[in-house]
Amino acid sequence: MSYKYYNNYGTFNYDPKKDTLVYALGGLGEIGKNMYCFEHDDEIIIVDAGVKFPDDDLLGIDYVIPDYTHLIKNKDKIKALIITHGHEDHIGGIPFLLLQCSIDKIYAPRFAKALIEKKLSEKRRLSRVKITEIDGDSSVKTKYFTVGFFNTIHSIPDSLGILINTPNGRIVETGDFKFDLTPIGKNADYQKMAYIGASGVTLLMSDSTNSEVDGFSISEREVIRSIDEIFKKTKGRLLVSTFASNVDRLSQILKCAYDCGRRVVVFGRSMQNVVEIGLKLKTIDIDEDAFIDPELLNTIPPEKLCIVCTGSQGETLAALSRIAGGTHRYVRIIPGDTVVLSSNPVPGNAMSVTGIINQLTRCGATVLENTTLASLHTTGHASKEEQKLMLQLIKPKYFMPMHGEYKMLKMHAETAMETGIPKENTFVMSNGDALVLHEGEVYRANTRIQTDSIYVDGNDISGLSTSVIKDRKILADNGMVAAVVCIDSRSNKILCRPGIVSRGFVFIKESQTLLKEAEIMVYEALKQAMKQKVTFGDLKNTIRNTLEPYLYRKTNRNPIVIPVILNHRDAMRKNKGE
C-alpha cells in the first residue's frame, strides 16, 4: 500500500517499507494528552502517553485521552513506549492505553517510573507491567530505530530529551524543557545537545508552551531564595500551596521548612503520593521525622508548623479550597496565618484563585502571591530565548513545533525562522497529520492518521459520544421535562391526562399554568395519534414534537424532553403471554 506526500516542490509516493512516518495522536493544538509516534515498516515507537484535564464545559468528564484506534489496529507493530518525564500530560494515559494495547516494553526515567508503577498498582490487571528505567546514558534499539537520551531541565526530576535514529534521518524530540543556569537538580546535557547538533539532525520537535513569552525564565533557585526568606521572617503558622507535579519546588519548600525548624504536614492525595515517592528515591532529602500526622497538628506551636497542600489553582475539592471554606477535617484558618501561593493561575483559573484568596483574607490570613517584587513561581517550560538556544544547539534541517496550542506552535515556527530555518522547512501540524522522512528530507504527508479526543467518565474508557456531552450541556443550561403517560395498549387508548415533571427548567410553583397547558396539549395530541394503531416509538415522538416547540415558544429554552410511557398491567400481562 502506498500513500502520497508532498512538499512545496512537488508530489511524491510514500513507500511504507522504505520511508519513516512521524505523527501525533495528541499534544498539537492543545496543552495535554501528549503522544507522538514514529513508524517505519512494521515498527512503531511511541513517545509519551498523556491525558488532558477537561475544560469547564465538559461536564462530568474526568480525563480526555487520545483515540487509540490506529494503535489498536497496528498493535503488533508497537515495539516500545518511551516516557520523557513523569507529568500527567505525559504519563496519565498509560493505564488507558495498556487496557487496549499490550505493550511489552515501556521505558521511563527513574521518577516517572515510580509514578507510573504507583498508578498501575491501583489497576490490578496492570500491576505486573514491567517498566525499564532509563537515563541520559541509556540506549533503546529495535530493528529500524536506535534511541538515545539527554538530560533536560524541567519542574520534575529525571526529565529527558530523545534522539531517534531512523533509516531516513535523525529526529530530536525535546520533551518538556527549560534552560536554567543555576538549577536545583541535575544540569542539562549542553555538551551532548551540541554534539548531536554538530553530528546532524534532520528534524527537531520542540516544546512550544511558552513561545509567546519573551526573554529567559527566571531560575528556580531565585524562587527558592524568596520562599526561604518568607520562612525566616514569618512568625506564625505557614501554609504553602503549589503544583504537586513541581517536584523540585516541593522538595525545596520542604527543605526550607526543615531548616527553619518547622514540622510539616502534607494534604492532598497527589501531593502525598509525590512526597512518598520523593522520600523513597531521595529526591526529597529530608528526615522523615520532620513530618507529622494530621491528628497532631494542634500539639505543635504555630511558629513551628508548616502545612503544604494542593489547591493553588482554586480547585473546588482541593485541600486549600476546603481550608479556606472552613470545611477541612484538620485545618481552619486562624488570624496570623500566612498562606504562600507558589504558582501562577493557569488561564481560566484566575477567578477561582481570586475567590480563594478573598476567603483566606476574610478569615484573617496574610496571602502572598507571585509578583515582580516577590518571585514565588517560575515556569518549567522554555521561553522564547531558551527555545532559540535549543534550536541553535540542535541545528536541525527541518523543524516541527509540538506541545502547545495552535498560536504557540505558530509563534515557535516563526522563532525557528529567526534562527535561520527556511519557512518551507517548518511544519505547523495538527493531531493526525503526518510527516514523512525520505532519504534525509522531510515532507508533509498527503494522508491523515485517525485521531480524536476520547472523553473518559469514571472508569469507562470506551469514550462518551459527543451526543452525551451535548445532553449534559443541555441539562446544565436548560434542565429537563418528563411527560408521564398511562395507556392501555389492548384498546389503544390513553387512560388519563399526562403528568408533566420538571427539574432545573422552571420554578414549579410559579409555572403551574405553563405545565397544565403542556399537559392538555400532550393529552390532545396523543388522543389524536391513538385514533389509529401506534407504537411506543410513535407515542414518544408525538410527545417530543408537541412539547419541545411549545416550551421553547413560551420560555425561549430547550430542555431535554423525556417521554415515560406506562402500560396498563393487564395489557402488559397479555403482551408477556404472547
Report the pLDDT value the prediction gives residue 9, as an integer from 0 to 100. Answer: 41
φ/ψ of 246, rounded to 5, equals -85, 80
Residue 570: inside a domain: yes
Q: Same domain, yes or no, for 407 and 357?
A: no
Q: Same domain, yes or no, for 140 and 170?
A: yes
Q: Same domain, yes or no, for 209 and 316?
A: no
pLDDT, tens digit (0-9, with 9 covering 90-100), for 362-381: 999 999 998 876 788 899 99
| Percent of the chain predicted with pLDDT > 90 | 65
Q: Which of 417, 450, 483 is the last residue of a domain?
A: 450
Q: Residue 190: exposed, middle, or buried by beta-carbon count in 10 A (0-12, 13-18, 19+)?
A: middle
Residue 229: domain span: 220-368
Domain count, the chain: 3
Q: Same domain, yes or no, for 304 and 384?
A: no
Q: Which residue has the cell 504557540?
A: 408
Phi/psi-derived region of residue 348, left when phi > 0, alpha when psi is between -120 and 50, beta in every other case: left
Q: Which of 450, 477, 510 is the last residue of a domain?
A: 450
Q: Has 207 been annotated as catalytic?
A: yes
Residue 456: inside a domain: no
Q: Same domain, yes or no, for 310 and 197?
A: no
Q: Same domain, yes or no, for 244 and 275?
A: yes
Report the pLDDT value the prediction gives residue 242, as an integer from 0 to 100. Answer: 93
Local structure of 341: helix, strand or coil: strand
Find the catalytic residue in 19, 189, 207, 457: 207
All residues at 6 or more sequence positions from 381 whose CB lies less than 8 Å from its CB, including other chains: 154, 176, 177, 178, 207, 209, 210, 217
pLDDT, tens digit (0-9, with 9 covering 90-100), for 446-455: 788 988 888 8
Mean pLDDT over 407-430 rounds to 96
pLDDT, tens digit (0-9, with 9 covering 90-100), for 530-562: 888 888 888 999 999 999 889 988 888 888 899
Give the C-alpha separation, 5 to 11, whole Å. 6
The residue among 455 and 160 whose pLDDT is bigger is: 160
Choose the weakest-confidence range: 264-278, 463-477, 515-529: 463-477
Q: Smallest Cα–Cα separation from 62: which of 455, 453, 348?
A: 455
Q: What is the CATH number of the domain that holds 120?
A: 3.60.15.10
- Grid cell, residue 554, equals 413560551
Residue 41: inside a domain: yes
DSSP string over 347-372: TT-HHHHHHHHHHHHHTT-EEE---S
Q: Smallest Cα–Cα separation from 197: which of 150, 236, 239?
A: 150
Containing 460, the helix (H) or strand (E) segment is strand 460-464
Question: Nearest 5 degrees, angle CA 490-CA 493-CA 496?
Answer: 125
Check if the beta carbon of residue 266 is closer than 8 Å to that of residue 217. no
pTM, two decimals, is 0.82
Residue 524: inside a domain: yes
Mean pLDDT over 417-424 rounds to 96
Containing 569, the helix (H) or strand (E) segment is helix 569-577
Q: Same domain, yes or no, for 426 and 395?
A: yes
Q: Which residues are bridge partners to 372 per DSSP?
A: none
Q: Could you give the residue ranges of the DSSP H alpha helices within 342-465?
A: 350-362, 384-394, 406-418
Q: Same domain, yes or no, for 210 and 312?
A: no
Residue 411: inside a domain: yes
Q: Smallest Cα–Cα separation from 26: which of 63, 64, 61?
A: 64
Q: Residue 215: exposed, middle, or buried by beta-carbon count in 10 A (0-12, 13-18, 19+)?
A: exposed
Q: Same domain, yes or no, for 320 and 409?
A: no
Residue 374: inside a domain: no
Give the C-alpha separation, 85 to 111, whole Å. 8
pLDDT, tens digit (0-9, with 9 covering 90-100), for 9-44: 444 567 889 999 999 999 999 999 999 999 999 999
Find the catalytic residue in 70, 87, 90, 381: 381
Residue 110: inside a domain: yes
Report the pLDDT value the prediction gives residue 258, as an integer from 0 to 100. Answer: 93
Q: What is the CATH number of the domain that holds 232?
A: 3.40.50.10710
Determine the straight-line distance between the first and last CA of the chain, rounded to whole angstroms: 55
Containing 519, the helix (H) or strand (E) segment is helix 512-529
pLDDT, tens digit (0-9, with 9 covering 90-100), for 91-100: 999 999 998 8
Q: What is the CATH number of the domain that holds 509?
A: 3.10.20.580
Q: Has 433 been annotated as catalytic?
A: no
Q: Same domain, yes or no, for 204 and 239?
A: no
Q: Which of 420, 450, 480 is the last residue of a domain?
A: 450
Q: Same domain, yes or no, for 442 and 469?
A: no
Residue 283: inside a domain: yes
Q: Same domain, yes or no, for 143 and 207?
A: yes
Q: How many residues does the chain have?
A: 578
